[in-house]
């Protein structure tokens, strides 16, 4: 049981290049999330998908797009990378059971992205 | 934007010492979770506290949720090198999203 799998683990891009970060979960969770983690700022939500077929903006969505391809997969795309998007990106999934539930989020091991 | 401030940001202590990490907000949360993150990995859930004033213990770790559900603390007794990591609090807003704290990086030296 792999949990949440993110690819690639590391990537270096030049300013203006585009790329897609992939995330897949095998826990049959309905909700999926993308975060970025920067020093001293904890985890900030970029986009999330409450269920298959829906996506919503989080705290820092500018410069990113997402696709919930199916229940398992949720991808994050940078259309024109900027140095300010250098960060560690985490994907998470959760078995959301309704408003007020406290199910944990399960995280992948992250993608370390550097933009020069 | 709801903010969760953690203090201290960094803590370097010797094995056997006790420590407390604080997580504070001006907002009320329906519940609060604590995660620990090790280098190169994603955060992993330690505990969820739901009721104001609730105290939960996980071996040497004691978690408390404030009476007003705006703050929380994590106390570690007799810290060990295996406790080293980044500790993150995260508040549930009652909807789909978690708001994460700024993090406390703990280093426990032998």
Say if residue A2's pLDDT is above 80: no
Dihedral sign, Cα of residue B42, residue B47, residue B50, residue B52: negative
Cβ neighbours around B27 below 10 Å, total: 13
Lookup result for tokens 């900027």: A82
Q: Which residue of A has its CA nearest to B45?
A: A104
Lookup result for tokens 């990086």: B105
Average pLDDT over residues A24-52: 92
With a CB cutoff of 8 Å and minimum separation 6, the contacts of A74 are A23, A32, A33, A34, A49, A66, A67, A68, A91, A93
CB of A100 within 8 Å of a chain B CB? The answer is: yes
Cβ neighbours around B76 below 10 Å, total: 22
Round to whole Å and give the CA distance between A116 and B5: 31
End-to-end Cα distance, chain A? 36
Contacts of B98 in chain A (CB under 8 A): 45, 105
- Across the interface, do A110 and B41 touch by the CB < 8 Å criterion? yes
Round to whole Å and give the CA distance between B31 and B98: 10
The pLDDT of residue B3: 80
Round to whole Å and give the CA distance between B70 and B73: 11
Tell me which residue of A85, A108, A110 sits closest to A3, measured CA to CA: A108
Mean residue pLDDT across chain B: 93
B68: Cα separation from own chain's centroid: 17
Torsion (CA) A97, A98, A102, A105 in degrees, nearest 10: 60
Q: What is the pLDDT of residues B95-108, one digit of tens each?
A: 778 899 999 999 99
Q: What is the pLDDT of residues B52-81, one digit of tens each?
A: 999 999 999 999 999 999 999 999 999 999
Contacts of A59 in chain B (CB under 8 A): 1
């Amino acid at each position: 049981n792999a949990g949440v799998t993110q690819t690639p683990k590391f990537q270096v891009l030049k300013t203006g290049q585009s790329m897609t970060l992939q995330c897949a979960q095998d826990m049959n969770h309905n909700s999926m999330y993308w975060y970025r983690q920067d020093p001293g700022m904890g985890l900030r939500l970029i986009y999330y998908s409450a269920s298959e077929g829906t996506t919503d903006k989080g705290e820092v969505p500018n410069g990113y797009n997402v696709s919930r391809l199916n229940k398992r997969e949720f991808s994050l795309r940078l259309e024109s990378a900027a140095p300010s998007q250098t960060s560690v990106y985490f994907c998470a999934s959760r078995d959301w059971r309704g408003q007020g539930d406290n199910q944990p989020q399960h995280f992948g091991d992250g993608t370390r992205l550097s933009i020069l | 934007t709801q903010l969760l401030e953690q203090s201290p940001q960094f803590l370097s202590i010797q094995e056997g010492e006790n420590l407390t990490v604080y997580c504070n907000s001006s907002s009320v949360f329906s519940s609060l979770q604590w995660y620990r993150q090790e280098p190169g990995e994603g955060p992993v859930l330690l505990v969820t506290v739901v009721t104001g004033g609730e105290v939960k213990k996980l071996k040497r770790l004691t978690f408390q949720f404030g009476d007003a559900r705006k703050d929380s603390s994590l106390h570690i007794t007799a810290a060990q090198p295996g406790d080293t990591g980044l500790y993150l609090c995260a508040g549930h807003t009652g909807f789909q999203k978690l708001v994460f704290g700024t993090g406390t990086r703990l280093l426990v030296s032998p």
